[in-house]
Amino acid sequence: MINITFPDGNIKAFENPVSGLDVAKSISDGLARNCVAMKLDDDLVDLDATIDHDAKIKLITSKDPEGLEILRHTAAHVMAQAILRIYPDAKLTIGPAVEDGFYYDIDMAPVSEDDFPKIEAEMKKIIKEKLPVRRREVTKAEALEFYKGESYKLEMISDLDDGTISFYGQGEFTDLCRGPHVPHTGFTKNLKLIKVSGAYWRADPSKPQLQRIYGTAFFTKKELDDYLTFLEEAKKRNHRKIGQALDLFSFHEEAPGMPFFHPKGMEIWNALLDFWRLEHRAAGYVESKTPIMLNRSLWERSGHWENYRENMYTSAIDDIEYAIKPMNCPGGMLIYSHKPHSYRDLPLRVAEIGLVHRHELSGVLSGLFRVRAFHQDDAHLYMTPRHIKEEILGVLHLSERMYGAFGLGFQLELSTRPEKSIGTDEQWETATGGLAAALDAYGQEYALNEGDGAFYGPKIDLHIRDALGRMWQCGTIQLDMSLPERFNLYYIDKDNQKHRPIMIHRTIFGSIERFLGILIEHFAGKFPIWMAPTQAIILPINDDLVAYSTEVLDILKNAGLRVEIDSRTESLNKKVREAQLQYIPLILTIGGKEKEAGTLSVRTLDGNVKYGVSHQAFLDTVLSHIGNRELSLDMF
């Protein structure tokens, strides 16, 4: 007699050893059809594994996250099988499920997306055949024998513990694999190959480069279609495309990886920074600015020369070596240590929109997301240990307000002491405890990243979630136990003795360039009116109305709006179309009726038109919308 306990506490008894599938069938046929695997006690195993003892099991279906992972893992095998059929000389390495799908790293001649239809066609065949996926256990010696000549698999097997090794196979295909897998290949029918790229064996550039083929798979066609639609949408929102279409910024060979902001881009930039300054002033920050080029000796003192030199641009003038700053902190240290500080001055919150340059590898550059020159919305907070919690809390609240202004939610992550680090246990305890206490007081859940802190201190990272659900790490709050030491920072406490201040680096936007890129994609180019480069455009319907329209233009400009006029001799339809394509939030048409009545007809981006709006009513509405930084563009 075998007693099986389900997650809800129900117990079912079976006469003889049974498989997971038997258990599922005993409940319902529908369940049996939907099951892909099971959790037996605490292990994920195949559905056809035998249960021969009292156990608790959880049947894994398409509803469970684990189910999707298993499905994708099988999909990776199906892809590998198809590839081996087409390219018999290909050598398999590893093929895991990843967040958005799966990939398989294969040693083979380079393939391109043009080869996908062929591979997918072969995969379809395998899927149609609904080949059962079978597990087989062998000894290490047998496994080594099986993979004779397959250097990658041999290497992987040698790294495994002795004992049984599992193979999974379907049809003629066999692969070294821990499993589990879905019962048969038919489950993977909703799949798609996505992209291909190079990847090194074991992520080691000295090792051979493999073809990494990415794909994704879902249980239902709808989920797959939704995901493909999401990819399409992300492509449409690509900030490089929108930046080009809206004339916001450009890149040039003369300065790879360093964006050139055009006038329209600068309007957004300035709106963003005006907001930033407003919030920071209100939060008790002062602002500083430090040079971008500083003497080598400073970088030696800060430790960057030793540890970050490859990423630094340097220059020698009059035989003196300089480096262009990759970070703002050392300059900030000089300001702090320029004069003595009393405990009464603390906490001191010194912000800096600092322009930094980092020589990133050419291959990683990517629009505004990954650049070589960018501005950090940096700040250095100096405090006594008793301030830590309150100060961190202050940064969290400030971040919440600022992200909230864009409709962005965020997640928190605390990273603790890594293996290689400076400082004493006690220092780390105070520091990490301070961050954790602040997080607890803040009240939002946070993830813990053990050992992922910087070598100089623990940190909190803030990840924002954009309109498409994508996560971006922007903010960071890092406690630094190194620089105050290296720069011998101190303050005089009540006891008239020098004490070392606690120093925190923090950013909220992170890189302003990157944040702008994120915002472009988040808003799909349709910025809220307070940020929009052009907030309104006036369209006279014929040449005779240009003079009057220009008067209206001046009224609106004087009220502080960013307004343009399109006085070209073009059809109204054309001017409306172009204004819409530029995502100008308000399109103001002026014809004879408007001139006579002293009104405006207001078209919003959704295409709705409101006629007969008085100038005053228009300004009242728009200015309050801007003043409140409303996100909605639907204001008339």
- Rule CB under 7 A: choose which of 19, 209, 337, 550 binds RNA: 209
Q: Which residue of the set 192, 505, 522, 595 is catalytic?
A: 505
CB of 629 to RNA, least distance (A): 24
CA quadruple 463, 465, 471, 475: dihedral, nearest 10 = -20
Both structure tokens of 301: 């003192």
- Please report where in the chains the tokens 């050992």 appear, as a residue: 451
Residue 195 as a binder of RNA (CB under 7 A): the answer is yes
Residue 518 as a binder of RNA (CB under 7 A): the answer is no
Spatial distance between the Cα atoms of 70 and 72, rounded to a whole number of angstroms: 5
Q: Is 378 a catalytic residue?
A: yes
Q: Which residue of the set 153, 212, 372, 459 is catalytic?
A: 459
Residue 543 as a binder of RNA (CB under 7 A): the answer is yes
Q: Is 304 a catalytic residue?
A: no
- Rule CB under 7 A: choose which of 323, 333, 460, 576 binds RNA: 576
Residue 438 as a binder of RNA (CB under 7 A): the answer is no
3-state secondary structure of 186: helix
| Footprint of RNA on 293-322 (CB under 7 A) | 302-304, 307-308, 311
Q: Which residue of the set 329, 341, 427, 478 is catalytic?
A: 329
Q: Is 365 exposed, middle or buried (0-12, 13-18, 19+ CB in 10 A)?
A: middle
- Rule CB under 7 A: choose which of 110, 163, 263, 443 binds RNA: 110
Q: Which residue of the set 264, 357, 375, 380 is catalytic?
A: 380
| CA nearest to 128, candidates 66, 82, 94 | 82
Options 57-65, 382-390, 509-517, 563-571: segment touching RNA (CB under 7 A): 563-571
Angle ∠(515,517,518) on CA atoms, nearest 5: 65
Residue 475 as a binder of RNA (CB under 7 A): the answer is no
Instruction: Kindly write down the DSSP assignment for every residue of 237-284, as one continuous string.
Output: T-HHHHHHHTT-EE--TTSTT--EE-HHHHHHHHHHHHHHHHHHHHTT
CB of 210 to RNA, least distance (A): 9
- Rule CB under 7 A: choose which of 365, 405, 437, 623 binds RNA: 365
Please say whether the beta carbons of 414 and 447 come within 8 A.
Answer: yes
Residue 609 as a binder of RNA (CB under 7 A): the answer is yes
Residue 253 as a binder of RNA (CB under 7 A): the answer is yes
Chain-centre distance of CA 376, in angstroms? Answer: 17
Angle ∠(236,536,600) on CA atoms, nearest 5: 130
- Rule CB under 7 A: choose which of 67, 332, 367, 528 binds RNA: 367
Q: Is 177 a catalytic residue?
A: no
- Rule CB under 7 A: choose which of 89, 338, 607, 628 binds RNA: 607
Residues whose CB is less than 8 angstroms from the CB of residue 458 and which lie 6 or more positions away in sequence, other chains included: 414, 415, 416, 417, 428, 431, 432, 435, 478, 479
Residues whose CB is less than 8 angstroms from the CB of residue 495 and which lie 6 or more positions away in sequence, other chains included: none
CB of 326 to RNA, least distance (A): 8
Residue 11 as a binder of RNA (CB under 7 A): the answer is no
- Rule CB under 7 A: choose which of 269, 456, 515, 636 binds RNA: 456
Q: Which residue of the set 239, 341, 357, 358 is catalytic?
A: 358
Both structure tokens of 564: 């343009």
Residue 290 as a binder of RNA (CB under 7 A): the answer is no
Please say whether the beta carbons of 585 and 633 come within 8 A.
Answer: yes
Nearer to RNA, 14 or 548 (CB): 548
Residue 614 as a binder of RNA (CB under 7 A): the answer is no
Spatial distance between the Cα atoms of 344 and 136, rounded to a whole number of angstroms: 71
Residue 561 as a binder of RNA (CB under 7 A): the answer is no
CB of 307 to RNA, least distance (A): 4
Spatial distance between the Cα atoms of 438 and 235, rounded to a whole number of angstroms: 38
User: How many residues bind RNA, per CB under 7 A?
Assistant: 63
Half-sphere exposure of 596 (CA within 13 A, CB side): 3
Q: Which residue of the set 378, 461, 480, 566 is catalytic?
A: 378
Contact map string, positions 381 to 420, toward RNA, x by CB under 7 A: ----------------------------------------
Residue 328 as a binder of RNA (CB under 7 A): the answer is no
- Rule CB under 7 A: choose which of 454, 532, 586, 622 binds RNA: 454
Q: Is 209 a catalytic residue?
A: no
Contact map string, positions 227 to 246, toward RNA, x by CB under 7 A: -------------x---x--
Residue 544 as a binder of RNA (CB under 7 A): the answer is yes
| CA nearest to 75, candidates 153, 166, 177, 186 | 186
Nearer to RNA, 245 or 286 (CB): 245
Q: Is 235 a catalytic residue?
A: no
Please say whether the beta carbons of 625 and 529 come within 8 A.
Answer: yes
- Rule CB under 7 A: choose which of 139, 197, 295, 616 binds RNA: 197
Q: Which amino acid is at 583?
A: Y
Residue 571 as a binder of RNA (CB under 7 A): the answer is yes
Spatial distance between the Cα atoms of 629 and 530, rounded to a whole number of angstroms: 6
3-state secondary structure of 507: strand
Q: Is 357 a catalytic residue?
A: no
Nearer to RNA, 286 or 364 (CB): 364
Name the β-bridge partners of 548: none
Helix (H) or strand (E) holding 432: helix 425-442
Nearer to RNA, 199 or 335 (CB): 199
CB of 487 to RNA, least distance (A): 12
Residue 112 as a binder of RNA (CB under 7 A): the answer is yes
Spatial distance between the Cα atoms of 391 and 389, rounded to a whole number of angstroms: 6
- Sheet with 293-295, strands from edge to edge, namely 293-295, 320-324, 314-317
Options 277-285, 377-385, 509-517, 600-608: segment touching RNA (CB under 7 A): 600-608
Q: Is 358 a catalytic residue?
A: yes
3-state secondary structure of 567: coil
Residue 511 as a binder of RNA (CB under 7 A): the answer is no
Please say whether the beta carbons of 79 and 89 come within 8 A.
Answer: no
Instruction: Kindly write down the DSSP assignment for every residue of 102-132, as one continuous string.
Output: EEEEEESS---GGGHHHHHHHHHHHHHTTPB
Q: Is 95 exposed, middle or buried (0-12, 13-18, 19+ CB in 10 A)?
A: buried
Binding site for RNA (CB under 7 A): 110, 112, 195-200, 203, 205, 209, 212, 240, 244, 251, 253, 256-257, 302-304, 307-308, 311, 360-367, 422, 454-456, 482, 541-544, 568-574, 576-577, 580-581, 587, 589, 591-594, 601, 603, 607, 609, 611
**Which residues are the active-site residues?**
329, 358, 376, 378, 380, 459, 505
